[in-house]
Chain A
Amino acid sequence: MFNPSRLVLARRRRGLTKTQLAKAVDVDRRMVNGYESGEYIPGPETLSRLSTELKFPEAFFFGDDLEEVSESTASFRSMSKMTAGQRNMALGQGAIALHFNRWVERRFELPPVDLPDLRHECDPEAAAAAVRQHWGLGQQPIKNLVHLLESRGVRVFSLSIDAAEVDAFSMWKETIPFVFLNTRKSAEHSRFDAAHELGHLLLHRHAAPAGREAEAQADAFASALLMPRGSVLAHAPRFVTLEQLIRLKRIWTVSLSALTYRLHAVRLLSDWHYRGLCIEISTRGFRKSEPEEAPRESSQALAKVFAALRADGLTKNDVASQVGVHPSEIDQLAFGLMLVSLTATAGDGAARGTSTARLRLVK
């Protein structure tokens, strides 16, 4: 049976308004309204056009209701700067990710959730120290934040939205924490986003994240989590230049701006020196393009899932059709890992040979 809520989701996932969709499939806007309210059911020809236009297989529109991701449950980093279309795209991708995650979790047991309860901790610096202690991280830099989050039960997915305004978002779905990262950012930017979202998950679990203060708290948390005070004090030069910072930032895999901010926060930089460095970072264009960018992080859990599925002889088309979406849809939320791990068809040996090398897991 045609499910109107799936049409709404598909349309939002593509960032389209009803009017835009109506125009694209050449029907009256009232008809789209009708399809989405359940008043009308699209005929075979319209359905085919909806499928093509929205890039979802026809079968997608006949599934059960999917769990919605609403604006109130998700915390966006820069909600105010996003357009409604961008928000819908991100939330739509989130809903598809939840759906895909259910499919994965029916087949695999992912790490149990192990996040400390820090809802009553109002100092972000203390919260970052507490979670570091809870996870036994000491003052060590975090080599791969996505892997760390996954090992503690956070489900991490990628967003593929080519918009500077969309950084990341996170949410609790029942007892499972989710983080969505826009991977079209620099590796350092994306890592900071992941730490920022962990801050929201820990600090703002039951309260609706409240605007600027919550964002500032999550930023401070991220800064302290990635660059623990003691570690920074131990390694920072006593006299700071930009060239030194470009090399130093590799210790914590953070952006030049984030490191400079942190050095000022731990009072290793005077106000005057900090301002000077900020200006230099801007004039040399390092805010727009991170110097000596680190390799991007991606999901280890999903890489292992795809490796196991491949061992079972599943192709990416098998997986996609079981989930009820196009393969590219899964790839976009799985850090592009499915495309490199699973072959298109069962006997496609050539692609298999090249994909193993890129999938070496951290042991």
Chain B
Amino acid sequence: MNASSVLVTVGPSAVGRLAQLGLQAEPLLEAAARGLAAAHACTPNHPRIMPGLAAWSETVCGVRENLAAEGWERLDEGNLPWTVNATGSIAIAVATGDEETGKESGSPCTKSKKGPQVAQAIEANQLELFPQGIQLPASTPPGRETWLLLIHRDFGAGELRVELSRPVNMGEDNRVDGWSERIILDAIPFDRDLDIESVGPTTPSGPDIDVEIKRRA
């Protein structure tokens, strides 16, 4: 699909577009942040797939919880966990996106590309947030729009990029790489690995104090 035919909204117009869908940015971003926190709670002793799985699982749960008050409901269909609005006209699933995710001029897909070099391949593997690949249902009920909440954790930029996008094309090996519309949310900054020496005073900090005592005559 030609990238130029994709409708992309950012900033205030993205907020406006979300409102037309009965959504706000905050609940979606909060869900994405929950996912990131869940990934961060994993240690090297967890299975390697766990950080991505935990992030994905927690984000799905977050979307469902955060939208419940507005009447959205969970729906498991086609092996995917969806969140569907009260009228059944909009369904959202959560997926990992590649590094193009959240970039206004980017053309993201739902699976990270593997670099030609080994180092890049390893890094790409570590960046993988969510289970690879996503199988959209072959058919959706008439009148229902399906959307993907695409999330990409960018270690280099130190941000979590999020977009809500409407898939139209499925590439090879279950890769969604075509979109009719992309609503780009504000990125969530994070500190990948806090370096205490770089955040200001080293420890223990603050001035030394002299307690003055005098002999009495």
A residues sitting closer than 8 Å to B (CB atoms) are 106-111, 137, 140-144, 147-148, 150-151, 234-235, 237-242, 244, 247-248, 250-251, 253, 270, 272-273, 276, 280, 294, 300-301, 304-305, 308, 361-363
Min CB distance, B140 to chain A, in Å?
Answer: 31
Query: Which stretch, B68-76, B100-108, B173-181, B205-213, touches the partner chain A?
Result: B205-213
By a CB distance below 8 angstroms, the chain B residues around A273 are 33-34, 37
Q: Which of B27-57 contact A (CB under 8 A)?
A: 30, 33-34, 36-37, 40-41
- B204 partner, pick from A248, A294, A363, beta carbons under 8 A: A294
Q: Whose C-beta in chain B lies nearest to the C-beta of A363?
A: B210
- 14 more A-B contacts (CB under 8 A) besides A108-B215, A235-B200, A251-B203? A108-B216, A111-B212, A144-B206, A144-B208, A151-B212, A235-B199, A237-B191, A241-B41, A244-B191, A251-B196, A251-B199, A280-B41, A361-B210, A363-B208
Q: List 26 A-B contacts (CB under 8 A).
A: A137-B206, A140-B207, A141-B201, A141-B203, A141-B206, A144-B208, A150-B211, A235-B199, A237-B190, A238-B190, A238-B191, A239-B36, A239-B40, A239-B190, A240-B37, A241-B37, A241-B41, A244-B194, A250-B196, A251-B201, A251-B203, A251-B205, A273-B37, A276-B41, A300-B210, A363-B210
Q: Does B189 contact A (CB under 8 A)?
A: yes
Asked whether A250 lies within 8 Å of B203 as measured between CB atoms, the reply is: yes
B residues sitting closer than 8 Å to A (CB atoms) are 30, 33-34, 36-37, 40-41, 188-191, 194, 196, 199-201, 203-216
Give the docked Cα–Cα distance between A310 and B214 (Å).
Answer: 15
Given A108-B216, A241-B41, A251-B196 in contact, is the A151-B211 Cβ separation under 8 Å?
A: yes
Given A238-B190, A241-B41 in contact, is the A248-B196 Cβ separation under 8 Å?
A: yes
Give the docked Cα–Cα distance between A84 and B211 (Å).
Answer: 35
Asked whether A250 lies within 8 Å of B204 as measured between CB atoms, the reply is: yes
By a CB distance below 8 angstroms, the chain B residues around A137 are 206
Min CB distance, B63 to chain A, in Å?
Answer: 13
Give the docked Cα–Cα distance between A179 and B37 (Å).
Answer: 40
Min CB distance, A278 to chain B, in Å?
Answer: 12
Q: Whose C-beta in chain A lies nearest to the C-beta of B206?
A: A143
- B211 partner, pick from A140, A141, A304, beta carbons under 8 A: A304
Given A235-B199, A237-B191, A237-B194 in contact, is the A107-B215 Cβ separation under 8 Å?
A: yes
- A272 partner, pick from B34, B207, B213, B216, beta carbons under 8 A: B34
- A110 partner, pick from B37, B201, B203, B213, beta carbons under 8 A: B213
- A140 partner, pick from B33, B203, B205, beta carbons under 8 A: B205
Min CB distance, A76 to chain B, in Å?
Answer: 26
By a CB distance below 8 angstroms, the chain B residues around A235 are 199-200
Asked whether A111 lies within 8 Å of B211 as measured between CB atoms, the reply is: yes
- A248 partner, pick from B33, B189, B194, B209, beta carbons under 8 A: B194
Give the docked Cα–Cα distance between A231 and B200 (Å).
Answer: 10
- B206 partner, pick from A142, A241, A294, beta carbons under 8 A: A142
By a CB distance below 8 angstroms, the chain A residues around B188 are 238-239
Asked whether A143 lies within 8 Å of B40 as measured between CB atoms, the reply is: no
Min CB distance, A274 to chain B, in Å?
Answer: 11
Asked whether A308 lies within 8 Å of B194 as measured between CB atoms, the reply is: no
Min CB distance, B185 to chain A, in Å?
Answer: 16
By a CB distance below 8 angstroms, the chain A residues around B30 are 270
Asked whether B194 lies within 8 Å of A247 as measured between CB atoms, the reply is: yes
| 8 interchain residue pairs of minimum CB distance | A239-B190, A250-B203, A143-B206, A241-B40, A237-B191, A147-B209, A109-B214, A300-B211
Give the docked Cα–Cα distance between A273 and B34 (Å).
Answer: 7
Give the docked Cα–Cα distance between A276 and B61 (Å).
Answer: 15
Give the docked Cα–Cα distance between A343 and B139 (Å).
Answer: 89
Min CB distance, A297 to chain B, in Å?
Answer: 10
Min CB distance, B120 to chain A, in Å?
Answer: 25
Asked whether A144 lies within 8 Å of B196 as measured between CB atoms, the reply is: no
Min CB distance, B182 to chain A, in Å?
Answer: 24
Min CB distance, B57 to chain A, in Å?
Answer: 14
By a CB distance below 8 angstroms, the chain A residues around B209 are 143-144, 147-148, 151, 300, 362
Q: Whose C-beta in chain A lies nearest to the C-beta of B208?
A: A362
By a CB distance below 8 angstroms, the chain B residues around A242 are 41
